[in-house]
Copies of this chain bind each other. A is one copy, B any other.
Amino acid sequence: MSDFTTKAVDTIRVLAADTVAKANSGHPGAPMGMAPAAHVLFSQMKTNPKNRKWINRDRFVLSNGHAVALLYVMFHLMGYPISIEDLKQFRQLHSKTPGHPESGTPGIDVTTGPLGQGISNAVGMAIAQANFAAKYNKPNYKISDNHVYSFFGDGCMMEGVASEACSLAGHLQLGNLIAFYDDNKISIDGATSLAFTEDVGARLTAYGWQVLEVPDADTDYEAIAKALEKAKATTNKPTCIKITTTIGFGSLNAGSASVHGSPLKPDDIVQLKKKFGFDPEKFFDVPSDVYDYWRLIADKGEKANQEWDLMFEAYCQEYPEEGAEISRRLSEKLPENWEKLLPVYTPQDKALASRKMSEIVLGKLEQALPELIGGSADLTPSNLTRWTDAVDFQPPALGIGSYAGRYIRYGVREHAMGAIMNGIAAYGANFKAYGGTFLNFVSYAAGSLRLSALSGHPVIWVATHDSIGLGEDGPTHQPIETLAHFRAIPNLMVWRPADGNEVSAAYKVALESTVTPSVIALTRQGIPQLEGSSIEKAARGGYVLSDVENARLILAATGSEVSLAVDAAKELTAGGLPTRVVSLPDFFTFDHQSADYKKSILPDGIPVLSVEVMTTFGWGRYAHAHLGLDHFGASAPAKDIFKAFGFTTEDVVAKAKKVDAYYADKEVLSRLDGPLSY
């Protein structure tokens, strides 16, 4: 390639150095080292800066998110709405250019920075693309053929979540996935040889990847382009292009840990610009022919988008049904009346485990919602996440499913499942991703779950075996702190339905959500269908399930403890202590109801006793006293554990009477009120 390429590459380097220096905070090393790969890749990528939602655009995920200055620079050059002024506002309050990539920033689909997540999100996007293509492509109509690209570094490769996702990507033979591994041999502690001497290429090969190497990715642009060409020609396995780079190329500290996370000093920037033929007096300076170059690339992308639009028009003529479905999905709307498919129960219906009721919901919805795609982390027969006759999402070559299948065999990889769901959701096309595991092991994916909430990916965790009610597997499997943990995460729904109608409500709200993920906690054991529940009521997150006149006490419960509360309330009321039962299936949704509504559920003057077989931590927001479990569980049949830990009707009745007696001579204010509004 030409001198111009060198100039264009060096422009990226200089601009990244200026950006980080201006903020006096950030990571210049990786952007400067990966500039050649970025130049080559972004020159070829199919994107239209003017239509950043184009479904067939190539996706790009910066897994080493700390290198985000590189991304802002590229977006600026390519004509995304990131101005030089935005670069100057890098890492400042309310800027468009935060310290790590945040979805919502123009051009960024997933929030990255926590290492290992981005490459795993990319696997999810690749799954989504393969599924979308397999479902909708027709002879002569390649509705979907985009690639998913990612940059990742040593840090990502050390993280377990990336190992899990890369192993699954290899199994799934995702030829649409091309990842550049920045082998710069430096991490924050120093040389990677301090802690990371494995053979990364051999490991990825063992996972089933194609591994290509570019020994000098500082200057050999041609080799990068050739490797990329070969990767794009490979359709039956993901490709890793291992590029050996010099971190902070051009800096006086090139190749050292100090350039990883600290801005270049002023004199270093001066020498850098001089060395690269730039004016050291100028900052944020882009040669006009570099802008021209990227404008042509952007124009090409715009044209490709226009051609796709024309093709899609013709497709809609020839395949009106599929065309309409795609259009609906692209508008991010569920089909009309889909919610009428949700099962409704009466108290006469038989008791079932709520995991079973979840399975019934999935079975009812799967045909109406082609965007529904899910799986389980190797607990399918326990989580009951696979509807009858589901087709597995598998590479056609294995003969055990197809890419058009919508049931993903995640293997025992909870963390990757979380990150992959985020990637599927981020792909667009209204994909609704769900994933099953035991509630306790959603914690393995805490890193991804938090990012679902932060990025606003409305994924759904089907979290079964949700309490000591799972019985014999014992305390290693029984959640105690788990619901509190999840309820404390902003923008996360944590449903714990009490019966079939509440299960339907949880799915209704979760599937209608466009920006809030959900955890749906479900029982292993059977629970009865309750008098007084309904989808409508439960969809408000909290409601009065059963009431009495002049209630003097409220039992507030969730999930399997609601029927326990109902039994206790009956006994209490009959015994002269009129007791209301409140079901609170989701704190998040309840908190978002009007103040009046909430006060009508938990009013002043009536003490509230919470009943939940988990930690009492956090229940102070609603209840004055708690029946909970502030210690670990035990291995035994469920009935024996409930009894041993004080969760029988008699226990609830006894505690309730104490609460009533305690508050008899005291003023009772609703816990919903207070001097400060939240």
**CB-contact partner of A630 in B207, B477, B480, B490, under 8 A:** B490
User: A659 contacts the other chain (Cβ, under 8 Å)?
Assistant: yes
User: Known contacts A198-B206, A413-B160, A620-B620; is A114 also within 8 Å of B170 by CB?
Assistant: no
A residues 597-634 touching B (CB-CB < 8 Å): 607, 615-621, 624-627, 630-632, 634
Which residues from B are CB-within-8-Å of A49?
none
Question: Could you say which of A159, A410, A412, A441 has the most chain B C-beta atoms within 10 Å of its C-beta?
Answer: A412
User: A131 contacts the other chain (Cβ, under 8 Å)?
Assistant: no
Among A187-195, A221-229, A296-304, A338-346, which stretch is in contact with chain B? Answer: A187-195
User: A171 contacts the other chain (Cβ, under 8 Å)?
Assistant: yes
**CB-contact partner of A636 in B91, B381, B635, B661, under 8 A:** B91
Q: How many copies does the complex hold?
A: 2
Q: Give chain B nearest CB distance to A10 CB in angstroms.
A: 26
Give A98 to B667 CA distance when docked, in angstroms.
Answer: 46
Q: Give chain B nearest CB distance to A664 CB in angstroms.
A: 10
Which residues from B are CB-within-8-Å of A453?
632
Q: Give chain B nearest CB distance to A48 CB in angstroms.
A: 27
Per-residue contact bits, chain A 517-533, to B (CB 8 Å; 1 contact, 0 not): 00000000000000000
Among A323-331, A426-434, A637-645, which stretch is in contact with chain B? Answer: A637-645
CB pairs A–B below 8 angstroms (6 shown)? A99-B473, A158-B412, A485-B488, A490-B630, A616-B678, A617-B618
Q: Give chain B nearest CB distance to A375 CB in angstroms.
A: 9
Give the nearest-CB partner of A195 in chain B.
Answer: B411
User: A658 contacts the other chain (Cβ, under 8 Å)?
Assistant: yes
Give A195 to B644 CA distance when docked, in angstroms.
Answer: 40
**CB-contact partner of A160 in B416, B440, B631, B658, under 8 A:** B416
Which residues from B are CB-within-8-Å of A195?
168, 171, 378, 409-411, 413
User: A106 contacts the other chain (Cβ, under 8 Å)?
Assistant: no
Give the nearest-CB partner of A489 in chain B.
Answer: B481
CB pair B447 A444 closer than 8 Å? yes
CB pair B472 A23 closer than 8 Å? yes
Question: Could you say which of A156, A382, A637, A674 has the most chain B C-beta atoms within 10 Å of its C-beta?
Answer: A674
CB pair A160 B618 closer than 8 Å? no
Question: Could you say which of A91, A159, A615, A621 has the most chain B C-beta atoms within 10 Å of its C-beta?
Answer: A159
CB pair A187 B412 closer than 8 Å? yes
Give A440 to B666 CA distance when docked, in angstroms.
Answer: 41
User: Known contacts A163-B164, A378-B195, A488-B618; is A477 also within 8 Å of B158 by CB?
Assistant: no
Which residues from B are CB-within-8-Å of A187?
378, 411-412
A residues 631-678 touching B (CB-CB < 8 Å): 631-632, 634-637, 640-641, 644, 655, 658-659, 661-663, 666-667, 669, 671, 674-676, 678
Give the nearest-CB partner of A27 in chain B.
Answer: B473
CB pair A206 B206 closer than 8 Å? yes
User: Known contacts A25-B471, A676-B626; is A159 also within 8 Å of B170 by CB?
Assistant: no
Which residues from B are CB-within-8-Å of A194?
392, 394, 400, 409, 411
Known: A444-B446, A617-B617, A620-B671. 6 other contacts (CB 8 A): A98-B475, A156-B412, A158-B412, A170-B197, A198-B208, A618-B618
CB pair A203 B207 closer than 8 Å? yes
User: A499 contacts the other chain (Cβ, under 8 Å)?
Assistant: no
CB pair A188 B476 closer than 8 Å? no
Give A632 to B492 CA distance when docked, in angstroms.
Answer: 12
Per-residue contact bits, chain A 168-204, to B (CB 8 Å; 1 contact, 0 not): 1011000000000000000111001111111110110
CB pair A102 B475 closer than 8 Å? yes
Q: Give chain B nearest CB distance to A113 CB in angstroms.
A: 4
User: A115 contacts the other chain (Cβ, under 8 Å)?
Assistant: yes
Q: Give chain B nearest CB distance to A464 CB in angstroms.
A: 13
CB pair B188 A378 closer than 8 Å? yes
User: A244 contacts the other chain (Cβ, under 8 Å)?
Assistant: no
A residues 462-492 touching B (CB-CB < 8 Å): 471-477, 480-481, 484-485, 487-491
A residues 278-336 touching B (CB-CB < 8 Å): none
CB pair B626 A678 closer than 8 Å? yes
CB pair A189 B378 closer than 8 Å? yes
Which residues from B are CB-within-8-Å of A154?
412
**CB-contact partner of A376 in B160, B189, B398, B644, under 8 A:** B189
Q: Give chain B nearest CB distance to A25 CB in angstroms.
A: 4
Give A218 to B380 CA distance when docked, in angstroms.
Answer: 28
User: A111 contacts the other chain (Cβ, under 8 Å)?
Assistant: yes
Q: Give chain B nearest CB distance to A677 CB in angstroms.
A: 10
User: Known contacts A160-B159, A477-B100, A488-B481; is A472 also within 8 Å of B189 by CB?
Assistant: no
CB pair A488 B114 closer than 8 Å? no
CB pair A167 B198 closer than 8 Å? yes
